[in-house]
C-alpha cells in the first residue's frame, strides 16, 4: 500500500489539515480543565495548531545578523546619552525573555489543557531561548567593560528601574506558581491575570517600548544590526501576544462569568501599574537627555499602547492617547514590510502574515 493510501486509510493527510473523523466517545472538557489531554483528533482548537504551523515557518538564527556596522556606531557615532540608553536597553533584554520563558514552563504549559496549544508553547519556548541568545550576543559585543557587563547580567538586582519591572512581573504572575490544578473560578481569574500580564504588559508594553527605542536609533541611521534582529524578535513577540490573547478569548468564551467587574478592575489596575513601571525605566534610560526622544512623548506612546491592549481585551480605553512616534509607522520597510505584505525572503523559510502594523502599535 502506498504512503498516500495509508494516509487515507487512517483519515488524515500529510499536510496536517483536519479531516472528518468520528467523535470520541468520552466527553472532553474546556481549555483550563484539570488533566493532560493528549488527543489531537478530533482537534478542539485548530486555531492554536495553525499558529504552531505558522511559527515553524518563521525560523531565523542569531548567526544571520551582521553586527559589524553596529560596533562602529557604538565606538564613533553614538553620544554618551545614546550609549547609556542602549546599555540600559540591552540590560533589560538580558532578563526579560528569561522571565517569560520561565512562566511558560512553570505555569502556562501546566494548565493549558489542549495538545495543539502546547505544541505552540513548545515552539514559543524555542523562540524565547533564541531571543535570549540574541540578547546575550548584544551584551557581549555592545558592552566591552567587564564591570558594566556584569551589572547588566544581574540587572534585576543591580539596576533599580529594571528590578521594578521584574517585581511587577512576579507580582502579577506568581500567584499561580504553586498552583498544581485550577479548580475554582478565582484560580481561573488568577490564570487569566497571568496571561494578561504576559500578553498586554510584558510583550505588549515593556517590549513594545523597547522596540521604539531601537527604531528611534534606526531612524537616525544607527545600529542597523540591532534593528534587523529586532524586526525578527518583534515578529515573534507579536505572534506570542496574539496566541496569549487567543487563549484569553477561548477561556472567556467557555466561562463568560469570569469576566465580571472585579476582573475588569484588576486588569485595568495592572495595566496602569505597567505604564507607570515602564515610565520609571524610561526616565532612567532617557535620563541623560537623548535628542529627539522625550520622556513626555514616551508616556504618550505607552498610554497609546495600553489603550490598544485594553481594547483587544474588550475593555474601554483608559487614556485616549495617540502615537507620537512617527518613526514607528515609518519602520515598515525592509523585513517588516515583507512580513505584513508579502513572503519574507530574508527569513530561512517564507511565511505570509496578516498582522496590521498600526493595530499592534
The catalytic residue positions are 135
Neighbours of 261 (CB within 10 A): 7
Collapse the DSSP code of 356 into the 3-class scheme (helix H, G, I; strand E, B; otherwise coil) and give the result: coil
Residue pair 185/258 in contact (Cβ under 8 Å)? The answer is: yes
Distance CA 295, CA 212 (A): 13
Q: In angstroms, rounded to a whole number, what is the distance separating the alpha carbons of residues 56 and 349?
A: 9
- Helix (H) or strand (E) segment spanning residue 225: helix 224-254
Q: What single DSSP character describes residue 14?
A: T
User: What residues contact 345, with CB distance under 8 A and at least 6 apart?
Assistant: 338
CA distance 99 to 90: 15
Rounded CA separation 278/119 (Å) = 32
Of 93, 73, 68, 94, the closest CA to residue 83 belongs to 73
Nearest-angstrom CA–CA distance, 175 and 198: 13
**Dihedral pair phi/psi, residue 23, rounded to 5°:** -65, 145
Radius of gyration of the chain (CA): 21
Length of the chain: 361
Q: Give the C-alpha separation, 352 to 201, whole Å.
A: 27
Give 294-353 as a DSSP string: -HHHHHHHHHHHHHHHHHHTT---SS------HHHHTT-STHHHHHHHS--TTSSS----
Query: Using CA of residue 278, residue 291, residue 97, residue 198, what is the dihedral sign?
Result: positive
Q: What is the CB neighbour count within 10 angstroms for residue 81?
A: 15
Amino acid at each position: 500500500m502506498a504512503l498516500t493510501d495509508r494516509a487515507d486509510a487512517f483519515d488524515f493527510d500529510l499536510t496536517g489539515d483536519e479531516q472528518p473523523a468520528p467523535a470520541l466517545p468520552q466527553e472532553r472538557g474546556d481549555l483550563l480543565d484539570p488533566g493532560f489531554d493528549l488527543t489531537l483528533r478530533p482537534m478542539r482548537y485548530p486555531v492554536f495548531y495553525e499558529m504552531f504551523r505558522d511559527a515553524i515557518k518563521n525560523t531565523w538564527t542569531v548567526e544571520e545578523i551582521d553586527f559589524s556596522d553596529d560596533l562602529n556606531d557604538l565606538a564613533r557615532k553614538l553620544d554618551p546619552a545614546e550609549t547609556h540608553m542602549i546599555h540600559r536597553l540591552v540590560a533589560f533584554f538580558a532578563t526579560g525573555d528569561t522571565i517569560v520563558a520561565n512562566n511558560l514552563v512553570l505555569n502556562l504549559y501546566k494548565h493549558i489543557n489542549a495538545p495543539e496549544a502546547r505544541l505552540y508553547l513548545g515552539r514559543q519556548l524555542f523562540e524565547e531561548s533564541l531571543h535570549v541568545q540574541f540578547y546575550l550576543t548584544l551584551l557581549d559585543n555592545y558592552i566591552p567593560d567587564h564591570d558594566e557587563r556584569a551589572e547588566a547580567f544581574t540587572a534585576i538586582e543591580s539596576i533599580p528601574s529594571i528590578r521594578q519591572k521584574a517585581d511587577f512581573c512576579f507580582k502579577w504572575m506568581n500567584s499561580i506558581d504553586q498552583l498544581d490544578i485550577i479548580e475554582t473560578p478565582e484560580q481561573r481569574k488568577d490564570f487569566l491575570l497571568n496571561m494578561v500580564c504576559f500578553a498586554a504588559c510584558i510583550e505588549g508594553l515593556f517590549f513594545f517600548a523597547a522596540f521604539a527605542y531601537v527604531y528611534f536609533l534606526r531612524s537616525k541611521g544607527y545600529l542597523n544590526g540591532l534593528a534587523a534582529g529586532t524586526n525578527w524578535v518583534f515578529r515573534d513577540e507579536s505572534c506570542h501576544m496574539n496566541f496569549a490573547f487567543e487563549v484569553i478569548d477561548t477561556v472567556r468564551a467557555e466561562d463568560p462569568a469570569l469576566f465580571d467587574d472585579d476582573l475588569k478592575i484588576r486588569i485595568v489596575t495592572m495595566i496602569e501599574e505597567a505604564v507607570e513601571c515602564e515610565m520609571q525605566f524610561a526616565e532612567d534610560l532617557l535620563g541623560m537627555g537623548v535628542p529627539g526622544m522625550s520622556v513626555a512623548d514616551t508616556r504618550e506612546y505607552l498610554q497609546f499602547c495600553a489603550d490598544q491592549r485594553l481594547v483587544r481585551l474588550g475593555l474601554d480605553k483608559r487614556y485616549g492617547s495617540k502615537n507620537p512616534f512617527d518613526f514607528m509607522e515609518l519602520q515598515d520597510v525592509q523585513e517588516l514590510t515583507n512580513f505584513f505584505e508579502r513572503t519574507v525572503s530574508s527569513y530561512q523559510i517564507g511565511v505570509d502574515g496578516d498582522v496590521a502594523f498600526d493595530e499592534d502599535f
